[in-house]
Every structure is written in structure tokens, then in C-alpha cells.
Amino acid sequence: MDFDLSADPSFDHSSRAALLVAAMRVGRSYQPNLLTRGTTDQAIITGVSAASGYGITVATHSLLGGIARRIGGGHATRAELLGVSAGGAVLGTGVALALPWREHEGRGRAFTRLAATTVGTASVAGLASAGLVVLGRAQHQRPIVFGAAAVVGVGSWLATRPHRQRPGSNYAPGKFMEDKVKEVSPAKSAGIGVAVAGITMALASGESALSRGVSRTTAFVMGGEPEEYRTAGRVGATLATYGLGWAAVTAVSTKLERGGEGIEPAHATPPAQSEITGSPASGIAWSELSREGRRWLSMALTPEGINAVMNRTDAVQPIRVYASLQAAPDPVDRARLLLAEIDRTKALERPVFVLFSPTGSGYVNYAANETLEYLTGGNCASAAIQYSVLPSSLSLTKVGTGVEQTRMVLDGINARLRDMPPERRPRFLLFGESLGSQVSEEVFRGTGLFGLEASGIERALWIGTPNATEWRQEIWGDRSVSVPPEVGPGPVYLPRSLIDLFQMPESERAKVRYLLLENGDDPIPKFGSPLVLNRPAWLGPDEKRPPGSPRGTSWMPVTTFFATFLDMMNALTPTPGVFAQGGHDYRLVLPFAIREFWDLPADDEQMSRMLWALRLRERAWELNRRWSAAGTLTGDDHAKANAKVLEDLAAWQGSGPVTAADVEHLLTSGLQPAPAPGPLPDLLEPTPAPTGAPANIVAALQAPVAQAVTPG
């Protein structure tokens, strides 16, 4: 007896089974992850979850159908199809139960369990699909299947116990470690579910009809029965979908590359100071620098500003040197250019020299670099070398280039240091952020702590190190994320979150020279390709999850990967001038971490004035970029752009309407702050602590009581 519904050939057995699994995944797609999400992100996650569930299940179930047809000699009976589905359900479930999840398990074990779970799920869905046939004939199939899918979706959502779930940033009722908390209303959530369900059902019908047509065409050309080619057609359709996605990413990357090289009106004028790359004395022309390079170099502090902010009189011009992609497309030439700039400016003759490893776009952390310059009175040098102009999430293929050129720069610096008398050598420090952390850490891959200590780098600070960083994995070893780590090996410390760092005894913190700083809800250290196939340690049993992990959330193949990817896209959306702590934002803790772990002393008054200046500069420079860009427009476009800038500034300040005069006043006061001694000008709202943060974190992050981070 033929199992297929000949009266409805565009909606076959495998399509029905896959639709039920897609509905189950729709219900589970509302689980929170590390950060809060908005309506658009939820729609993407739900759509991806349904599409991936459908695609994988339809291909798997079609394969099971092929096995049944082989058993039946080319044509499967109802009994043979049900028998293969029942066997697949038992076998898949049995293998999955025999291979329970465990931390640090190998990929082979994880893949075997996932494959078994996929087969088991597709088999159970196939049995359910067969049951729907009993309930109605062809003319009633679609309403019955749609109703069943709705029941499965709602039941799946209820099974997640949503009232017990919370994102990683939500550490207490109503309290979030996020600058901007996003949400999806219940009505919109329901609407998304219904819309995705309807689209998925339409796609199911279309996919079934398309694969049937392809299989018939292939059978006509190649010979044989159409059903023999059905599975291959479905796999090909899935791969084609992924190919279209990759093409879209490539197109976006190309567009962003062009944007990363443009000259902004606010940074069109090269610096005059010879100590800065791009100046008339430099070997690199201003036009050959990238957008992020020009931003960093044109924002260099001045001795006058440093003196005013830090209540001192002996500040000097800080050195900033940078080698961009445009200046030299070859990594070797780029490294040579940077080393030439280091030589030209006599950067290694300053008491403190810091190599900054930038993010994928070439961005150098302003808060970190300016903190260095304020704390040293400008008597320091900073260097950076670019390896991409794209955001870090789109620069993953550039890591190898970054590692290669960073290693060359380190070798060149150390060769120069060896030629200097020991007493004249600077303190050699290293800073990396996001993908820049991975680039600068992978230089020591395979050498453990030995390579780092032998590099001549006295101290290093990395923030938000990506999950794929192999050197970090080597240093972490077989430790469990369920236990607060100790310092080690040697002077390296890898906290799971800031809580671990703040709760360390002062005597233990004093041992740390190489710090890998990480927010518990930062998706960068947690995102990676293994999320597609394997449950990560941070989604282990609820009671063993590290700080910052979501609670009550279950791992889902593909879905968790995309949810974490979107968290990564939303992890750094700061309000200019408002220093927060959470996600991929480290601005509030960085000044204190640099003061302590780079051993650059400053008293509490200096720290308070410096934080004020850092926040004011950030807001003023971002305002300057937008105001200057609006000034290049004419007519209605100019008026609309100006109005938008005024609206943004009012939102940043949390104030009423602002005027062009307010903008000009902030630019005059904030681009290079030079406050008089005594109380600081009232140009900023008070620095907020993370919303409702625990008392020990508030103490650690507030400037007046910073001893929790920096021993007094």
C-alpha cells in the first residue's frame, strides 16, 4: 500500500514530518540567551529556527524513506515506512541517551549524539505524520496538519517553562547589565509565531513540489525512479539556501569595506604633531589611512589637556603610530611601515610603550588608550597595525594575516630593544580587544605561557577574547566553567566574569600580570562554530552555569548559534558618554583595570577627573562626526540631518530639546577638555552604575570607591 497522498502531491509525508519539527522549534526559539532582544531579532531567530528544523528534518526523513524503499525493492509499503521510522526512533533515542553531554567532550561524540537525536526526532515526526493520515484524507490534510503544528508549537513553548527563564544580563528581577534593555511584546511574539508558521507551511508545500519536479527531471535524464533522487534534491535545496546566505554576507562585506576606507569630514584634517602618524613629518600620508586609523590619530590628547585633567604641569605629547591596510596591502610591508614610524617618532625611548591590537575594523579602544596617556602624563607611545576594515564578525578570515603581521612587529620591536641598554628600555605592554585579542594571543599559540613571557611583554590586558582563540583554550586547559578559576598558569588570570575578579583577595590580584577580562554576558567569548553541533559548557546544568549565562535556557542546534550571533551584533551599542558594563562593553571598568594591572598609579581625584574627560571626549567626538557630516549636506537634507543630531544629543543627555549653540558649546569644551582646577564643569549627567548591580560591583565600578578594583 502506497503511503504517499497522491491527491496532494505537493505536500508529502516527509514535508508533513518536517513541518511538525519546524513548529516545535518555533516554540523553543523564544528562549532567552545572553542579552535581551528586540522584535526584529526574535523574528530572525524564529525564522532561522523553523527553516533549519524543516530543512534538516525533511532531508533526514527523506533518507529514511529511501531506506524503506530499498527494503521494499524500490517501492515501500505503509508497514515498511512505519517500521523504518519506529526503528529510527528507537535507535536514535538509544544512542543519544547512551552519549550524555559532558564538558570538554570531543566533537566526534557530540556529532554522533546530534546525528542520533536528528534521526530520532525525524523518525518520531514521521510516525506523527502517519498518524495525521488516519485523521483525515487528502482534502482535509492541510487543516489537520496546520492545527497539529499549532498544538506542537504552543506545547513546545510551554515546555520551556518561560516563567523560569531569564537572559544572562538579567541577574535579578528587573535588573539588567545592559545600557538599553530590549523586549518583544506578547502580542508581537504571538504574531511572529503565526507568521513564521504560515510561511513555513507555504515553503513546505513549495519545497515538496520543487523536489518532486527535480527528482522527476533527474530520473528522466539519468534513468530510474523519481523517488530515488528525492533525497539528493532536498539536500541540494538546503545547500543552495546556505549558498544564497553566504552570497548575501559577501555582498555586505564588500559594501562595508568601501565604507571603512572613506574620509569623514570630522577627521579630514591631518594632525600637525610630528609624534603622530599622518602628520607632515610622517612617512604615511593621511589619505592612505583607513577610517578607524584617522579617527584614532586625529583624537590624540594634547599636553595642555592632560595637564588640566590630571592636575599636573609636566605632560608631553603622546606618540601614536598606525599602519593601515591602504598604506600597504602586504603584511610584510605593513609591518615595516609601522616599525619605521616607531623609529621615526623614537617611540621606544618613551618610558611606556604599548602595542594595541585593534578590532576587525581597525578600531583602537579610545578609553584604554586615553587612560594610558592620562595616567602617564603623555610620556608614552602607542602603536597599532590594521588587518581588516570590516567588523570583527566579518573579519574572521583575516585572523591569520593579523597574527602574521603582529608576530613580525613583535620581532622587530624586540630586535630594537635588544640593541638598547637595559636601563633605557621602556615598559612593554600589550592591549587587545575582541578580534584583536585573538590576533595578539594567537601569536603565542602552541607555546603556552613560555611564549608570552619570552616575548618581552611585561603586562597584557585583553578584553572580550573570542571563543575560537586557541591560545586561550590552551591556558584554560581542562578547568570547569562551574568553578571560579584561580590565578595561573603563572601570572595569567582568566576570570569567567568580572565577579570572579572583584571577589579575588588583594594578595591574589597582585600576582596577575596578564589579564583576560570578560563580562559573563559577553557573547564574543562564547560565540563559535561549535555552537551549531554541540552544547556549550555555559549552557550546562543551570546550577553549574557561570555568572552571566542565561537561566532555564536549553541548547538548540543552529538556533543557539544564530541567537548568540545576534547577541554578538547587539553586544556593543553604547550611548556616547555613558559608560556601562555588560555585553561587550568594558569602558567603565577599563580605567581601573589599567591603573591596577598595568601599575600606573593615580589618586582618586585624578581618576574621577579622568573618567569625566573620557566620557566627555567620547560624546563630543561622536557628536562632531555627526554634526560635521550634516554640515556637508544642503537644503532639506541639511535641515533634517541637523535636526537628527539635535534629537540624538537630547536622547544621550536625557534632557529636553537642545540647540545648535548647545552642540557648539559641547564641541568647544569636549574635543580636548581642559577644565580648571576644582569642581568639574557641569557638562555630563552623573556616571550611572550598571542598573541595580550587586553592591560589590557598584563599589568596584564607581570612581569614588574604586578600591574594590584597585587596592588603595
90 is a domain residue:
yes
Of 258, 289, 306, the last residue of a domain is 258
Asked whether the CA dihedral 173, 174, 177, 182 is positive or negative, the reply is positive
Q: How confident is the model at residue 691 (pLDDT cuts 50, 70, 90)?
A: very low
Q: What share of the chain is helix, strand, coil (3-state, %, to 5)?
A: 55, 5, 35
Ranges 71-85, 128-142, 324-338, 632-646: which has the least confidence: 128-142
| Residue 312 maps to a domain | no
Alpha-carbon distance of 139 to 136, in angstroms, equals 8
What value does the mean pLDDT take over residues 417-440? 97
* pLDDT (average), residues 678-707: 51
Residue 331 pLDDT grade (very low, low, confident, very high; cuts 50, 70, 90): very high
Between residues 187 and 4, the one the model is more confident about: 187
Which cell is 451 given? 611564549
Q: How many domains is the chain built from?
A: 2
Reduced to 3 states (helix: H, G, I; strand: E, B; else coil), residue 379 is coil
For position 118, what pLDDT does the model report? 93
pLDDT at 698: 40
Looking at the domain assignment, is residue 423 inside a domain?
A: no
Query: Which residue among 218, 233, 258 closes a domain?
Result: 258
Cell 526523513 belongs to residue: 61
Which triple of cell numbers denotes residue 223? 534513468
Chosen domain end from 258, 282, 300: 258
**Average pLDDT rounded to a whole number, residues 331-340:** 97
In a domain, 510, yes or no: no
pLDDT classification of 324: cutoffs 50, 70, 90: very high
Asked whether residue 295 is assigned to any structural domain, the reply reads: no
CA pair distance 492, 472, nearest whole angstrom: 10
652 backbone dihedrals φ, ψ, rounded to 5°:
-60, -40
Choice between 310 and 255, residue whose per-residue pLDDT is larger: 310
Mean pLDDT of 520-547: 93
pLDDT at 4 over 50: no
In terms of residue numbers, what domain contains 619? 612-681
pTM for this prediction: 0.85
350 domain-assigned: no
* Chain mean pLDDT for the chain: 85
Mean pLDDT of 107-126: 93
Q: What gap in Å lies between CA 297 and CA 289, rounded to an integer? A: 10
709 vs 598: CA distance, rounded Å: 13
Cell of 222: 539519468
Rounded CA-CA distance 170/178 in Å is 9
122 is a domain residue: yes
What the block records as the C-alpha cell of 426 is 621602556
Q: CA separation (Å) from 331 to 360, 451, 497, 690?
A: 15, 22, 35, 41
Is the residue at 157 inside a domain? yes
Q: Mean pLDDT throughout 87-91?
A: 93
Query: Do 428 and 458 touch, CB atoms closer than 8 A?
Result: yes
